[in-house]
Amino acid sequence: MPEEGVSLTPKSDLLTTEEILTLARLFVKEGVDKIRLTGGEPLIRPDVVDIVAQLHRLEGLRTIGVTTNGINLARLLPQLQQAGLNAVNISLDTLVPAKFEFIVRRKGFHKVMEGVHKAIELGYKPVKVNCVVMRGLNEDELLDFVALTEALPLDVRFIEYMPFDGNKWNFRKMVSYKEMLDTIRQRWPGLEKLPEEDSSTAKAFKIPGFQGQVSFITSMSEHFCGTCNRLRITADGNLKVCLFGNSEVSLRDHLRSGASEEELLRIIGAAVGRKKRQHAGSFLMLEDSPPASWSTFFWDPLCVRNRSARENFSDKMATLWKRLHVPMALPLSRQCLGSGSPQRHYSYYPDSDTHSTCLSKGSQDPAVPPGPGPTSTQLTHVDSEGRAAMVDVGGKPDTERVAVASAVVLLGPVAFKLVQQNQLKKGDALAVAQLAGVQAAKLTSQLIPLCHQVVLSHVQVQLELDSTRHAVLIQASCRARGPTGVEMEALTSAAMAALTLYDMCKAVSRDIVVAEVKLISKTGGQRGDFHRA
């Protein structure tokens, strides 16, 4: 809850009970079999029990869930269970009462825990506990949350901190899934991966002998857009096909103007057809937007997943569900240097099972002998007549290739301070530069005319703030197995990250200098290794 509070949504703008049920019937008729009431806080709506009861009567609806802050859960859950509620998620970001009060701006931690135990008592299994992990706020409680699963049938779900309007998202606050997993495995090395369900948004793990389990929702570091089948409807009736997207279509307005069922389906199908494959990506929810306070209605009444075999939701909807099963993995993490200076890296893995490896100056393939190899006395990209030509690498053997390049961006004191404090109007310059560096490495053959197209197995871009020089030090590492090196990929990555920093900061200073773009090291290939002294 923001310290300054939130603006309230007029009651007349919210979906009425009948409008909620009309939309629910429409989606269930078209194959939706799970609806989740969320928000915000759905349990402060006076008719929530009646809504659940009427949803329960819909033929074909298998699951009715609720995501709640838990304050009113212990009081209402017996009635909700009798009405047909069969899944419970409780949002809880801390196990420290004082910190809880700081986060939500009110007391109530013990009521939430009472709600957790009431759900267990009534036989909900598992009871899901959602915890958004934020660096500097609650990442130190990871092990305490996991310990709850030893004696309680909980599914503690750690959620990567995501950017939403008003939450003042900062890249530095995000704790990646891999970092959380490493922390937990240091305490419980026997942590086991559980099979993933189709269209699941969570990666589940279990410690042998524990009653419960832990899960990770990796929206930022390893997005699941390729298999997401969620849609969301806000409390004021806007359809969102992606939680991250700003695009909304008002179903409320069409309902109130007398739109037929066929017209609504066409509108929904058109919106879903625009769903993107990455973070703008179909599950159905009703949420509260714009935000409301604790005393008003936060509603996400339709959370729809697992469509049935019927494919009459419009041609675009059917096509969408088929094409959504295209998983991609872009692990994103943040590390700290021993000196305490912030250093972050963004890594790309075509194979999602590949583990992160930090490529430093000393990284090399053991199969490649160290030491400098022979250099050519002639330019290899020029033919016998002096014309540009691409080298034929078809006869060369495949070897492990690693290259590291660097660059320096001298920002000056004003721009450096804004970058350091993440105060630039364009946003987080370091995060954008990292992404640009990764993208540039993958596009090198399109930028440098005679470069071969290389299938990279790993790209890592690291940025370090140097306060003595008011500079950002960039290091880019690339790895591939093939007949040609990846020096140009590493150099292009470092250079593009540097240029992106310039672009992010140029409104503040035109005196920025991009300097020292150079190869630090390369390993693999017939010409041997190179390490800059």
Domain assignments of the chain as residue spans, ordered by start: 12-274, 399-531
Mean pLDDT of all residues in 418-445 = 89
So what's the pLDDT on residue 97?
92
What residues pair up with 342 in beta bridges, in sequence order? 336
Q: What is the mean pLDDT of the chain?
A: 77
Q: Give alpha helix (H) positions in 84-240.
A: 97-104, 109-121, 142-151, 177-187
Stretch among 99-103, 331-335, 374-378, 508-512 having the lowest mean pLDDT: 331-335
Q: Which of 477, 461, 227, 191 is nearest to 362 (CA)?
A: 477
The residue annotated as part of the active site, out of 144, 315, 503, 511, is 503
Q: Is the pLDDT of residue 339 over 90?
A: no
Does residue 52 or residue 369 have the better pLDDT? 52
Stretch among 48-52, 87-91, 167-171, 254-258 having the lowest mean pLDDT: 167-171
Could you report the per-residue pLDDT of 280-333, keeping only the tens digit for each? 333 334 443 333 322 222 334 444 444 333 334 444 444 444 433 323 222 223
What single DSSP character describes residue 134?
B
Q: Give alpha helix (H) positions in 152-219.
A: 177-187
Could you report the per-residue pLDDT of 23-54, keeping only the tens digit for each? 999 999 888 899 999 877 899 999 999 999 99
Does residue 242 or residue 408 have the better pLDDT? 408
So what's the pLDDT on residue 475?
94
Q: How many CB atoms are closer than 10 A to CB 499?
A: 18
For the question of whether the overall pTM of this predicted structure is more than 0.75, the answer is no
Contact by Cβ (8 Å): 269, 314:
yes
d(CA 483, CA 504): 36
pLDDT band at 454 (very low <50, low <70, confident <90, very high): confident
Contact by Cβ (8 Å): 146, 207:
yes
Q: Which fold has domain 399-531?
A: Alpha-Beta Plaits (3.30.70)
Question: How buried is 519 (Cβ within 10 angstroms: 0-12 exposed, 13-18 middle, 19+ buried)?
Answer: middle
So what's the pLDDT on residue 275?
60
For the chain, give the percent of residues with pLDDT over 70: 71
Which homologous superfamily does the CATH classification assign to the domain defined by 12-274? Aldolase class I (3.20.20.70)
The yes-or-no answer on residue 503 being catalytic is yes
pLDDT band at 241 (very low <50, low <70, confident <90, very high): confident
Query: In what order do the strands lie in the sheet containing 230-234?
Result: 192-193, 203-206, 213-217, 154-160, 127-133, 87-91, 63-68, 34-37, 283-287, 230-234, 238-240, 249-250
Q: How many CB atoms are closer than 10 A to CB 144?
A: 13
Mean pLDDT of all residues in 368-392 = 55
> Which are the contacts of 23, defined by CB distance < 8 A and separation ≥ 6?
15, 233, 237, 251, 255, 286, 302
So what's the pLDDT on residue 416?
92
